Amino acid sequence: MSGIENVVGRLREVLPENAVCSVSVENGKVYVEVQPNLLPDAASSVYWELGGFLSTMIGTDDRYVDGYFRLYYVFSIEEGREEERGKPWVIVMVKIPGDKPSFPSITPRVPAASWYEREVRDLLGLEPENHPDPRRLVLPDDWPEGVHPLRKEFKFDERPEPVPSEYQFRPEEIEGEGIVQVPMSPLHVMADEPSQFRLFVDGERIVDVDYRMFYVHRGIEKIAEERLTYNQVPFIAERVCGICGYAHSTAYCQAVEDALGIEAPERAEYIRTIMLEIERLHSHLLNLGVACHLAAFDWGFMELFRIREKIMKAAEILSGGRKTYGMNLVGGVRRDIPRDKAKKVIELLREVRREFSKTIDIITSNPLFLRRCENVGVLPTHVARALSAVGPTARGSGIPRDTRWDHPYAAYKYIRVKPVVEKSCDVLGRVMVRAREVMDSLDIVEHALDGMPGGPIMYDGDIEIADYARGLGYDEAPRGENVHFVVVKRDSRLHRWRVRASTYNNWPSIPYMSRGYTMADFPLIVGSMDPCYSCTERVVVVDVKSRSTRVFSHNELIKLSRKASLNIKRG
C-alpha cells in the first residue's frame, strides 16, 4: 500500500494547509474531507497538480442522519502514472449544512465538473456558487422551482404540477452576419438519451453547438432507493443502458460488494469478464458498422453487422439472452459456463476473428471512408484532459485511460489489458481504437474461457452490513469508464445509488469536436463518440435574420452525410 501512502503524502503537500479536515483510507480509497469554502482550491489541486481525472461526483442527502448534505468528488489519479497498474482513488468530500444548501462551484477551475454540479443543483437543490452555466440539466423545463426529487422528503411516485416554461438555449452572442441557428429537436439518441441540438452554422460550417438532454431521465436511482432491496437492483441496473447494460450491473454489484466488504469468487470474476468483453465486441462492431453507414460505405455496414450476429449468438449461448444477460447478483454470478458451451463460443469467436480482420482491412484502406474520417471531429488532447473524457473518445485523443488497466477489477486483475491509444485525435483515431480493441477483446474472451479456474460462482459467506457503508464500483464499458457509488443501509436497502454512465463524461466534448466542420460531418462526429448516430426526429433550420424556418427530417440529415461521401466519389 505504499502507493496510497505516497498519495496521502502528496495530498498534504498540494492541498492548502487549512483546507483539510480529515484524511482516511477506506477500502483502499483515500477520503479527504475539506472545508467547503476552500473546495475549489482543493479540487483543482487534486485535478491539475496531482494529475486526477474527475470520475464522478455524488451528492447525498444525509439530513435525516446527521443534518448535512454531502458531496463526494471522485478523482482517479492517472497523470504521470501511465505504467502503473492499480492507480489511486482520491475522494474529496465536503459537508454542507442542511439549512444552507450551497457550495462554491469548482467548474471555473475544473471544467469537467460542469454537468455534475448542475445535476446536484437540479436533483438535490444544492446551489453551486459562481457556476458559469447555471441552466437546468436534468429536470424537465416544466418542473416547478424548488422541488428536488432526490431529497429524502420527495416520494418516488410524486408528480408535481407542471409549470410551463421554455429552455434557454445559449444566448444570441453567437449571432452575426450570415450565422444561422439549426435546432435539432429531441432526437432519439441510439443509446442513452434523446437530446436536442442547436447548431449555429455559417453556411455549411458549424460555428458552435448547444444541446439540451435528459428528456428520458427515468428516475431509476430514486426507485432503487425507495422501493428495491440491493439484490433486486442488478436487474434494473442492467436496464440503465440498452447497449452496455451488463457493464452497469457489474459496476453496481462491485460497488455493493465493496461496501459490504465481500468479494466475488474467482470463477465469477472470470465469467463477468467474459460477458463484459462479449458486450464490448457487439457494441464496437455496431458502432463501426454505423460509422460505415454514415459515410455511405454500406458494404462495411452490412458486413460488420453480419459478423456481429455471431457475437449475439455467443451471448445467447452463454447467458440465454441476446442482450440482457441477467447474470449478476451481488456476490457473484447466477449462471455457470459449462465446458461444451465454452467450446462452441470459442469456435464462433475464431470465425469472427478471421472475418473481422479481413473486413476491417478493407474498410480502413477504403479511400472514401478515410477521407470522411481523417482530420474530422478533432478533439485535442488538452480538451479531452480538461473534460475528463473516457473510453475510446479519450484514447483516440492520445490519453491512455482504460479502467481495465488503471483500476483492475474482476478478472482483469489476472489478465493484463494495455490501453489502446491513437494519437490522431480525429474520427479515424476513435474508429481505429475500436477496431484494435475488437481484436484484443477476442483474445481476452478466448483466454478467459480457456483458463477459467473452477470453484463456486457465488459468495456464500455471511454478510454483515455496516450502516451507511460506502462503496465504489467501476468498470470499462464499451464507451468508457462506468462508475457507480452506493451507500447501503443496514436493512439491505440503498440510501444512495449514483450511476455515472460513460457517455456522461463525453457529451460535453461535442461542441469542441464539431466546431469548424460541416453539417454533413456532424452525424459522423457524434457517431464516433458512440452515444448515438443522430437518430434525428427532425431538424429545423432557422435563419436568424429572416426568421424563416426549414424542417429537416432524420432521413434528410443522414442523406446529407451520405451525399458528402458521394460528392467525394464523383470528385
Among 35, 44, 102, 324, which residue sits at the site for another protein (rule: CB under 8 A)?
324
Q: Work out how close the CB of 314 gets to another protein at its nearest, in angstroms, rounded to a whole number.
A: 10
Q: Of the listed pieces 316-324, 377-385, 491-499, 544-552, which binds another protein according to CB under 8 A?
A: 316-324
The DSSP code for 46 is I
Please measure the distance between the N-terminal and C-terminal CA atoms of the chain and give it in whole angstroms.
61
Instruction: Give me the sheet containing 195-202, strands edge to edge.
Output: 205-212, 195-202, 179-187, 538-542, 549-553
If one asks whether residue 299 binds another protein (CB under 8 A), the answer comes out as yes
The neighbour count for residue 304, using CB atoms within 10 Å, is 26
Smaller CB separation from another protein, 15 or 233: 233
If one asks whether residue 156 binds another protein (CB under 8 A), the answer comes out as no
| Pair 184, 169: CB distance under 8 Å | no
Q: Of the listed pieces 50-58, 188-196, 309-317, 421-429, which binds another protein according to CB under 8 A?
A: 309-317
Smaller CB separation from another protein, 218 or 306: 306
Question: What whole-number distance in Å separates Cα of residue 258 and Cα of residue 107?
Answer: 29
Q: Of the listed pieces 230-238, 460-468, 489-497, 506-514, which binds another protein according to CB under 8 A?
A: 230-238
Q: Work out how close the CB of 248 gets to another protein at its nearest, in angstroms, rounded to a whole number.
A: 15
Site for another protein in 356-385 (CB under 8 A): 358, 362, 366
Smaller CB separation from another protein, 303 or 481: 303
If one asks whether residue 492 binds another protein (CB under 8 A), the answer comes out as no
If one asks whether residue 320 binds another protein (CB under 8 A), the answer comes out as yes
| Pair 73, 106: CB distance under 8 Å | yes
Smaller CB separation from another protein, 100 or 239: 239
If one asks whether residue 48 binds another protein (CB under 8 A), the answer comes out as no
Rg over alpha carbons for the chain, rounded to the nearest Å, is 23
Smaller CB separation from another protein, 343 or 358: 358
| Pair 484, 499: CB distance under 8 Å | yes
If one asks whether residue 219 binds another protein (CB under 8 A), the answer comes out as no
Q: How many CA atoms lie within 13 A of 331 on its CB side?
A: 12
Pick the closest to residue 483 from 472, 492, 469 (CA basis): 472
Question: What whole-number distance in Å separates Cα of residue 406 and Cα of residue 107?
Answer: 25
If one asks whether residue 132 binds another protein (CB under 8 A), the answer comes out as no
- Across 249-343, the runs of DSSP E, i.e. the strands, are 328-329, 332-333
Among 31, 211, 235, 414, which residue sits at the site for another protein (rule: CB under 8 A)?
235
If one asks whether residue 353 binds another protein (CB under 8 A), the answer comes out as no
Q: Work out how close the CB of 299 gets to another protein at its nearest, in angstroms, rounded to a whole number.
A: 5
Question: What whole-number distance in Å separates Cα of residue 288 and Cα of residue 431?
Answer: 7
If one asks whether residue 155 binds another protein (CB under 8 A), the answer comes out as no
Smaller CB separation from another protein, 102 or 232: 232
If one asks whether residue 333 binds another protein (CB under 8 A), the answer comes out as no
If one asks whether residue 205 binds another protein (CB under 8 A), the answer comes out as no
| Pair 102, 377: CB distance under 8 Å | no
Question: What whole-number distance in Å separates Cα of residue 414 and Cα of residue 327?
Answer: 21
Burial status of residue 48 (CB atoms within 10 A of its CB: 0-12, 13-18, 19 or more) = middle
In the three-class reduction of DSSP (H, G, I as helix; E, B as strand; rest coil), residue 462 is classed as: coil
Smaller CB separation from another protein, 261 or 320: 320
If one asks whether residue 316 binds another protein (CB under 8 A), the answer comes out as yes
Smaller CB separation from another protein, 125 or 289: 289
If one asks whether residue 216 binds another protein (CB under 8 A), the answer comes out as no
Smaller CB separation from another protein, 366 or 381: 366
If one asks whether residue 348 binds another protein (CB under 8 A), the answer comes out as no
Burial status of residue 67 (CB atoms within 10 A of its CB: 0-12, 13-18, 19 or more) = exposed
Determine the number of helices (DSSP H) and then strands (DSSP E) in the chain.
19, 17
If one asks whether residue 242 binds another protein (CB under 8 A), the answer comes out as no
Cβ neighbours for 418, distance < 8 A, ≥ 6 positions apart: 402, 405
If one asks whether residue 456 binds another protein (CB under 8 A), the answer comes out as no
Among 34, 112, 236, 520, which residue sits at the site for another protein (rule: CB under 8 A)?
236
If one asks whether residue 97 binds another protein (CB under 8 A), the answer comes out as no
Nine cell digits for residue 186: 429531441
Q: What DSSP line would sit under 217-248, residue for residue?
A: ---HHHHHHHH-BTTTHHHHHTTS-SSSHHHH
Among 29, 109, 217, 334, which residue sits at the site for another protein (rule: CB under 8 A)?
334
φ/ψ region of 507 (left if φ > 0, alpha if ψ in -120 to 50, else beta) reads: alpha
Q: Work out how close the CB of 321 gets to another protein at its nearest, in angstroms, rounded to a whole number.
A: 5
Pick the closest to residue 469 from 450, 490, 454, 483 (CA basis): 490
Q: Of the listed pieces 203-211, 282-290, 312-320, 550-558, which binds another protein according to CB under 8 A?
A: 312-320
Question: What whole-number distance in Å separates Cα of residue 456 and Cα of residue 264?
Answer: 9
Smaller CB separation from another protein, 358 or 382: 358
Question: What whole-number distance in Å separates Cα of residue 433 and Cα of residue 426?
Answer: 11
If one asks whether residue 351 binds another protein (CB under 8 A), the answer comes out as no
| Residues at the contact surface with another protein, assessed by CB under 8 A | 228, 232, 235-236, 239, 299, 303, 306, 309, 313, 316-317, 319-321, 324, 326, 334, 358, 362, 366
